[in-house]
Structure 1
Amino acid sequence: MLLVLAAYPLAFIASAALTRSSLGNPFQEFVGGANFQTALGSDAVQHSLLLGTGYAFGVAAVSTVLGTVTAVALWRTLRTGPFVRTVLLLPMIVPPVVVGILFSFIFSPSGGLLDTLIRRFTPGSGTYAILSDTTWAIFGVGLADVWEWTPLVVLLVFTALLGQDKEILEAAQLDGANTFQSFRHITVPSVAATIVAAFLIRLILAFKVFDLVHVMTSGGPGSSTQVPAYLIWRSALQNFDVGIAATITLLLAVVVTVVTIPVFLVMKRLRDD
């Protein structure tokens, strides 16, 4: 299974990156590092990798903070919130394409939820199309992404909170610790590794975002939302240049590895402590 699911695809991508490959005729000619020189010298590739990195860290941080706060709130109301907990997990079940369509309607400049609220509270202010703005379009996509995947963080952290040793909490209360002190010195350290792990998972998922961008903005306006996954798709299936697409994939893998290793080390240290 490892050979089929990991080794073979990786070997195929590496081979395509070192050759002149099209969609219909891969491995035509060995070109060595020419594809890497082309990709690294491309402003579009550089912009996409930087945009993807910033986007991933941004949505991962927001999702982790919101998810942790929500999980703590649910843990505090453990006996009264089963319905709320179920509702909060629903966005994770919705297919990403549906999420993209939903938020496209919300941000629609003609009758969308945001447009309706703007008209309601600021009459005469006109319309504002977030997804058509080169600055704010990526934030619109990020908001949809956060809405969809924050429940995953909630689920992980909430489960960790439920797994705390109650005897330690009871002992702290007997020693005179108040609720805040128990939470700060016992609860937070006990779930810190889980929070970092949730951030790591969320970070990797954010690097892979494609569906939302494809549905909501198609990489535009201009290249303002052209994250790496979308650029890879465009290179392979629109420009039919599988060699460049494979090269960008490997570069993205390097970037993801570099930025996730420190997070993984922090998680491992917290877990060992």
Structure 2
Amino acid sequence: MVSPLILTVLVLGAYPLVFIVGASLTESTLGNPFQEWAGLASAREVVASSDVTDALARGAGYAVGVAALSTVLGVVLALALSGLRRGGGLARGLLLLPLMTPPVVVAIVWRLVFNPAGGLLATLLGAVGYEGQAVAVLSSPGLALLGVAIADTWQWTPLVMLLVYAGLLGLDREVLEAAALDGAHGLRLVRHVVLPSVAGVVLAAFFVRLVLAFKVYDLVAVMTAGGPGQSTTVPSYLIHQAALQQFDLDRAAVITLLLAVVVTVVTVPVALLTRKVER
């Protein structure tokens, strides 16, 4: 009865993991993997590389920051939608448009927005009287990752909103009415009744968003190509460079395993907290 599920897990989970571990321990290229046993030589080289460690730290910080921002905005939008009396369907449809847009299209749109020569940002700055040097977000080492994060948040916040909104729809109306009769209105009602009731859903949405943020690749590849310098090189883009540009499969495999460790360290506490709150 469970053999199809076991086979699926083996094909989609166990085999890729064995392949990656094998590639990390051997001299491997994209066209000719498992050439010669290398042991931990590739792992020691990768761990000693500041580019890799910086990318892992950058990816972890990016994922946590983007997930937190998306969760806050998603909860606010979900609360606003739940309070609408008219036009709720139209509002939901418009807010879900970014979620249905392909990531490559999102990246192109936001490149145009941040274009210092006539983009939307430059136009808005000019409209408010800004006459200083052109703001080149994607060309600035200090702002490029922020620009990618804004595009990422814009695309995936609707997912958090949808999950939290579904949780709000499941609230017991009698409890809300009783709280209102006891004097809980507005922000007090939201803070002391609504949010505690959907805390498990909010944490679950944060967990999903966190995992998605660790996987960001399309936006970086199209908007900045990892630059300027290494300022937007996240682990997934670094793996792409090692495997598909440099054909260094053993290096890419080691980075992938290190990324798996980082993702586990960051997400396991969130998963445990989510389970605790739901119980």
Q: How does 1:16-95 map to 2 (within 5 A)?
A: 16-95=23-102
CA positional deviation for 1:252: 0.2
Establish whether residue 197 from structure 1 lines up as the match of residue 204 from structure 2: yes
Q: How does 1:1-273 map to 2 (within 5 A)?
A: 1-122=8-129, 124-272=131-279
Q: Is the 8 A contact 1:119 1:125 kept in 2?
A: no
Task: For residues 46-87 of structure 1, give each alpha carbon's deviation from its aligned partner in whole angstroms, at most 9, with x where no partner exists.
Answer: 010010011001111110000101100111115432101110
CA positional deviation for 1:6: 1.0
CA positional deviation for 1:170: 2.6
The letter of the residue matching 2:40 is: G
- SS in structure 1 opposite 2:273? helix
The letter of the residue matching 1:227 is: V
Partner Cα distance (1:138, 1:177) in 2: 41
Alignment partner, residue 5 of structure 2: none
1:239 to 1:121, Cα distance in 2 relative to 1, 3 A: same
CA positional deviation for 1:165: 1.3
1:115 to 1:177, Cα distance in 2 relative to 1, 3 A: closer
Q: Is the 8 A contact 1:220 1:226 kept in 2?
A: yes
Task: For residues 100-155 of structure 1, give each alpha carbon's deviation from its aligned partner in whole angstroms, at most 9, with x where no partner exists.
Answer: 00000111111111112223323532312110001100000000000000000000
Unaligned runs of 5+ in 2: 1-7
The letter of the residue matching 1:153 is: V
1:21 to 1:111, Cα distance in 2 relative to 1, 3 A: same
- SS in structure 1 opposite 2:53? helix
Tell me which moved more, 172-181 or 162-171: 172-181
Partner Cα distance (1:259, 1:124) in 2: 43
Aligned residues, how many?
272
- SS in structure 2 opposite 1:219? coil
TM-score by length of 2: 0.94
Partner Cα distance (1:210, 1:100) in 2: 10
* Percent sequence identity over aligned pairs: 55
1:243 to 1:173, Cα distance in 2 relative to 1, 3 A: same
Partner Cα distance (1:68, 1:123) in 2: 33
- SS in structure 1 opposite 2:212? helix
1:124 to 1:167, Cα distance in 2 relative to 1, 3 A: closer
Alignment partner, residue 3 of structure 2: none
1:112 to 1:176, Cα distance in 2 relative to 1, 3 A: closer
Q: Is the 8 A contact 1:119 1:126 kept in 2?
A: no
Partner Cα distance (1:185, 1:121) in 2: 40
Partner Cα distance (2:132, 2:180) in 1: 55
Task: For residues 186-232 of structure 1, give each alpha carbon's deviation from its aligned partner in whole angstroms, at most 9, with x where no partner exists.
Answer: 21111001111111111111110000000000000000000000000
The letter of the residue matching 2:57 is: L
Unaligned runs of 5+ in 1: none
